[in-house]
Chains A and B, each alone.
Chain A
Amino acid sequence: MQPSTSRWFRLNLQIHRWASLVATLPFLVLCLTGAVLVFREEIDAALGVVPVRAAEGEARVGDCLATLGREFPDQRVLSVGLDPLNHPGVMLGVVAAPEETGFERARLAYFELASGRMLGDDEDPDRSFTGVLLELHAEWFLGLPGRLLGALVGLLVLASLLSGLVLYAPYVRRIAYGVIRRGRGARLAQLDLHNFIGAVVLGWAVVVSLSGFLLGFSTIALGVWQMTDLAAIRQEYSDATPVDARHPPVSVPRVIEVATAHARSGWGVRSILYPGMDLTTPRHYAVLLGGTEGLEARMIDAVMIDADTGEVARDVELPGYLHAMFLAEPLHFGDYGGLPLKLLWTACNLLTLFITANGAWLFFDRRRAQRLRPGRAAEGAGDEGA
């Protein structure tokens, strides 16, 4: 039996054909939105979504929080964020109504660390241009079901890529790599382009679809962690006296001092979550620490600090699946290697966009040809691949 007609080949042909076809439209949307989102930081900076500092100097977190208290007297602070790598000199304050314990209805406010003045605020951060695109890309405006839908698309694309690899083997025995058969009909030329470009972007597409598949489960992963590890921690401190979540006895600057002293060498505070939130206990701040270089810039350590005494209550060991989520994000968005990597991402993204569309064209063109000439045999292993 010829390899091109073996059961294994035919199975992969069906997988490639139908997985690709089902994923085509959503994947086209993902490619188009992804091509823009690669430059999310640049677009946000150009549109002034995250204000930039005007002055440099010593960080005055206490002054920023005093300003925040004056600007939002009826709100509670949910968290404070510091991002010296991407937004140096700027502090993010997240506020919400006093009864809120999560970020769903939060408002963002930006402060200049050197002066303590407010740089701007954003009542609905999801309404920025890139915020809307990200919501479409990650959730299809559907929340958790949309995330799972995205994971399913990632899985279909992965299946399409791996089955396409099986189909590619007999094809390339006949057609040298890089050859595009022009002058023998649009179908053959498009088929050659599909196989050639598919081989070029295969590795990139595997990374992006696999990381996208993982990210589709990020909300669930966080929920599982909240229901297991965090629930156990909260249970452990259930007898502890709660603090006033709006005005904890220990101030944020002191929490930063304690957490920084406790952190690994070279690591710093990235986020401080106030007591009384879904992700903390009624008594403790949760502090997220991050590194500054390489892999460490993508990893997170968590520590809980007693909001009454200012002492480190415990280190929080994050499970492997949460670390996998943290690593999947840069591998999906390509935002960890500066402009050269973003350009590579864009090139691969546009090529993938092309083969997605031309794959669909090959499928429908084949159906059209079969309708016109019923019983027409496939033109060879490569043609079957379409």
Chain B
Amino acid sequence: MKGREPWLGLVTIAGLVAMLLGEGLVDAAGLAAAAVPLGYGGQAWWRARRSRS
């Protein structure tokens, strides 16, 4: 994944657009996709913090 993290932004964009277009399950899946960079970033930060301590 190294160096490719900004491409997760495309997942956010796809998620936000999916939410706009869909309802119900599509809405929930869109929200989950839109939040992927936040979740992945949080996990990477946590992992890096633990490995340095």
B1, A200: Cβ atoms closer than 8 Å: no
A294, B22: Cβ atoms closer than 8 Å: yes
User: Number of B interface residues, CB 8 Å?
Assistant: 35
With CB as the reference atom, state the residue of chain A lying closest to B36: A203
A202, B31: Cβ atoms closer than 8 Å: no
List B contacts of A202 (CB < 8 A).
Answer: 6, 8-9, 12, 37
B44, A341: Cβ atoms closer than 8 Å: no
Q: How many A-B residue pairs have CB under 8 A?
A: 101
The reply to whether the CB of A327 lies closer than 8 angstroms to some CB of chain B is yes
* Known contacts A203-B11, A207-B12, A337-B31; A177 and B5 CB within 8 A of each other: yes
* Known contacts A204-B12, A295-B21; A347 and B52 CB within 8 A of each other: no
List A contacts of B3 (CB < 8 A).
Answer: 169, 172-173, 177
| Main DSSP-derived SS at the A contact region | helix
With CB as the reference atom, state the residue of chain A lying closest to B47: A178
Cross-chain contact of A196 among B11, B22, B26, B41 (Cβ < 8 A): B41
B27 to chain A minimum Cβ distance, whole angstroms, is 6
A199, B5: Cβ atoms closer than 8 Å: yes
B6, A165: Cβ atoms closer than 8 Å: yes
Q: A332-349: which have CB < 8 Å to B? A: 336-337, 340-341, 344, 347-348
* Known contacts A168-B6, A172-B2, A337-B19; A206 and B13 CB within 8 A of each other: yes
Mask: chain A, 337-371; 1 = CB below 8 Å from B; 0 = not:
10011001001100000000000000000000000
User: Number of A interface residues, CB 8 Å?
Assistant: 35
List A contacts of B11 (CB < 8 A).
Answer: 203
What are 15 A-B contacts defined by CB distance under 8 Å?
A177-B5, A177-B41, A178-B43, A182-B52, A196-B41, A199-B9, A203-B8, A203-B12, A203-B34, A207-B16, A294-B21, A294-B23, A337-B31, A341-B34, A344-B35
A residues touching B (Cβ–Cβ < 8 Å)?
Answer: 165, 168-169, 172-173, 176-180, 182, 196-197, 199-204, 206-207, 293-295, 298, 327, 330-331, 336-337, 340-341, 344, 347-348
